[in-house]
Chains A and B, each alone.
Chain A
Amino acid sequence: MAEADVITKNRKFKELGFYDNQENNVYFLLPMRFARLNQEKEVLVNEVGDHLVVREGTFQKIVQRELNKEDDPDLFGDLVANHFISESRIPPLIDVLATRYRTKKAFLNNFTMLHIFVMSLRCEHTCHYCQVSRVTQDKDKFDMSRDHIDKGIDMMLQSPSPHVTMEFQGGEALLAFDNIKYAVERVHLLAGLRNKSVTFVICTNLALVNEEILLYCKEHEILISSSLDGPAFIHNSNRTRPGRNSYELAIKGIELSKRILGPSRVSALMTTTNLSLDYPIEIVEEYYKQGFRNMFLRPISPYGFAVRNERKNKYETDRFLEFYKKALGRILEYNLAGEFFTEDYATIILRKMLTPFPVGYVDLNSPTGCITNVIAFNYDGSIFASDESRMLAEMKDFTFQLGHLDTHSYEEVFYSKRALEIVSTGINESLPGCSDCAFQPYCGADPIQNHATQGDMYGYRPTSSFCQKNMEIIRYLIELMDKDKAIAKIFESWVKSRS
């Protein structure tokens, strides 16, 4: 019988008996979407992102009014309690639903929070996948000037958000450490006047880090975001530098940073390359070995060469998904053995699925997180809609340049026609393909990636690697939770720890 397959959810409001004075098959549909999970199951998702896994064919039954409260009391009760159907034309809890809808979009309330400052384009690494860095001593040409730092800070402090993040990037940001100190001290002077709290982050490969730098970071509560691509043979092959010792320096730097700043103030990001895709298990185990209990399995950047080759992108995304599932499987094994070890991308999506909270993550926001959540000030003072769009500019594509610190005011940047155009193409509620997609509340929109890989900002979902990746990861996460209650419990613990 159908009810055996329904995931019984908490009925938060009323016992089923409450609804019993109604006719058995009279009900009204509420906004919902559906997708097939596999041969046996499908998933229903409502307007505020609640989901319900049901037996295949249930959506059809609901829509065609073949559902009957007497025959299927559990399913009927779950659908009512979780706002998929209602027994009155306007559901009695519409205001609660509206509050939840507003809450889900509350990441928009404060507007731009993350401000990326590209302190220097210089780097002592020559990584083959990096399109921006330069090996040079020419500070004047490739470091951000103090004048631009001042202007960038001024613009950052005009953000409506009471809390902003200032992220120092490169090249290698530590090559311009004097300027970082200058910027941090200037922000300390000015932030209080504007009632802003500011979080500082330095993104660095750690090759140049030393005690003095870290003590400064400790004093000024600066977070370190480092890089770790996996075991030495992967990391060193991805990150080429004289001496082939990038891995050794990174590990030494991570250890020193954790010792001085404390483990919670040091994170590592993985850059996935073609080589990485063959070693999911080894990469996860390396993170575990280095004491990390979370990691971010990031896809290969689509901003490399031949980005518009659809077949190649599809093939690479297939390979990435295979990699992702294997790596996630290894992470889950640690959890099943009693460790707490999370994967960040899954956690972001799971927070959207399993909690009522707003989740602001640049790549999975709708409206898109570029501009509304992040802005990038390039080393030469030019202003971009995101970190990726300044990389496109290095390939001579200036579509996402919004202005320049020398010539444009806050209003001219954030309320420009260009900014409006970019953000309005990044609303998945109204994009072709997405508007009917069950996973839309969990997914986002990325006009910059669409432009880079498909030639227009709206994008074409059937050949989009962004879509292919998210659709399969979201489907897979729901399927995992449905098939294995132990995994569902682990996922719940991941979202709780960050709430």
Chain B
Amino acid sequence: MEKKNLIRNGEIVVYVDASLFSRDVVIKSLYWYGDKFHTQVSAEMNAYVVVLKPMANAAIKEEDLGYYLQKFERDIVDFSLREVVNKETTNIRELLVAKAFSNGEFDEAPPGNVSDAVGFDPMSIPINDAR
């Protein structure tokens, strides 16, 4: 039977379907709750069970817990989308950084007739030491 997310005894309990969401996504979402909540996560059959218990000094009212539950549910989805982007773009990102710092050995001329594609000459850039 599917378990419902709930608020119980002043704590938020979330069941995250492990077939849909990864451990990293759960942990990355939880990270941002550690300032206000004691966070706890455990693995059950096909779910991660997340418990968020407000810290005594966090001044979180009982009636605010619904908001945090909703926020956490949304964060899980957001981080899962970010995970897709991260996974799909790992190679291109590595290639980009390698090309950026390679001193030319990975370079090929950009295709087409674009000579000054971004409108400036990178060699003429002043380096600012403002502080």
Contacts and interface: CB of A to CB of B under 8 A. Distances in A.
A12 B117 contact: yes
A358 interface: yes
A34 B78 CA distance: 9
Pairs of residues from A and B, 5 with the lowest C-beta to C-beta distance, nearest first: A98-B99, A462-B35, A101-B100, A102-B100, A31-B89
Interface string A1-38: 00000000000111000000000000011111110000
Interface stretch (B1-9, B45-53, B107-115): B107-115
Interface stretch (B12-20, B60-68, B118-126): B118-126
Contact of B81 (A63, A362, A374): A63
Contacts of B85: 29, 31-33, 63
B122 A99 contact: yes
Interface residues of A, number: 61
Given A12-B118, A360-B127, A47 B93 contact: yes
Contacts of B117: 12-13, 93, 96
14 contacts: A31-B89, A47-B96, A94-B96, A96-B110, A98-B97, A101-B97, A101-B100, A102-B122, A103-B122, A107-B127, A373-B131, A374-B131, A460-B35, A463-B34
Contacts of A107: 127-128
A31 B92 contact: yes
Interface residues of B, number: 46
Contacts of B57: 311
A198 B97 CA distance: 33
Given A60-B81, A98-B100, A310 B114 contact: no
Nearest to A100: B118
A366 B120 CA distance: 23
A462 B118 contact: no
Contacts of B101: 102
B100 A462 contact: no
Contact of A98 (B86, B88, B96, B128): B96
A360 B100 contact: no
Given A59-B81, A98-B100, A28 B125 contact: no
B38 interface: no
A96 B118 CA distance: 8
Nearest to A165: B129
A92 B111 contact: yes
A93 B107 CA distance: 11
Contact of A462 (B31, B96, B110, B131): B31
Given A12-B117, A13-B114, A356-B118, A99 B31 contact: no
B21 interface: no
Given A90-B92, A358-B128, A362-B131, A462 B111 contact: no
A470 B122 CA distance: 28
Contacts of B31: 432-433, 461-462
Nearest to A29: B88
A183 B118 CA distance: 43
A105 B118 contact: no
Contacts of B28: 436
Contacts of A363: 131
Interface stretch (A108-116, A132-140, A172-180, A393-401): A108-116
A345 B5 CA distance: 43
Contacts of A498: 128
Which of B77, B117, B127, B131 is packed against the most chain A CB atoms within 10 Å?
A: B131
A449 to B, nearest CB: 15
A94 B93 CA distance: 10
A361 interface: yes
Given A47-B96, A358-B125, 8 more contacts: A31-B89, A63-B81, A63-B85, A94-B96, A106-B127, A361-B131, A433-B31, A433-B32
A99 B34 contact: no
A258 interface: no
Nearest to B32: A462
Contacts of B130: 344, 348, 360-361
Nearest to A462: B35
Contact of B93 (A28, A31, A163, A461): A31
Contacts of A95: 99, 107-110
Interface in B22-38: 28, 31-36
A260 interface: no
B34 to A, nearest CB: 5
A250 interface: no
Contacts of A362: 131
Contacts of A460: 34-35
A463 B55 CA distance: 13
Nearest to B128: A360
A40 B33 CA distance: 24
Nearest to B81: A63
A94 to B, nearest CB: 7
Interface in A341-379: 344, 348, 356-363, 369, 373-374
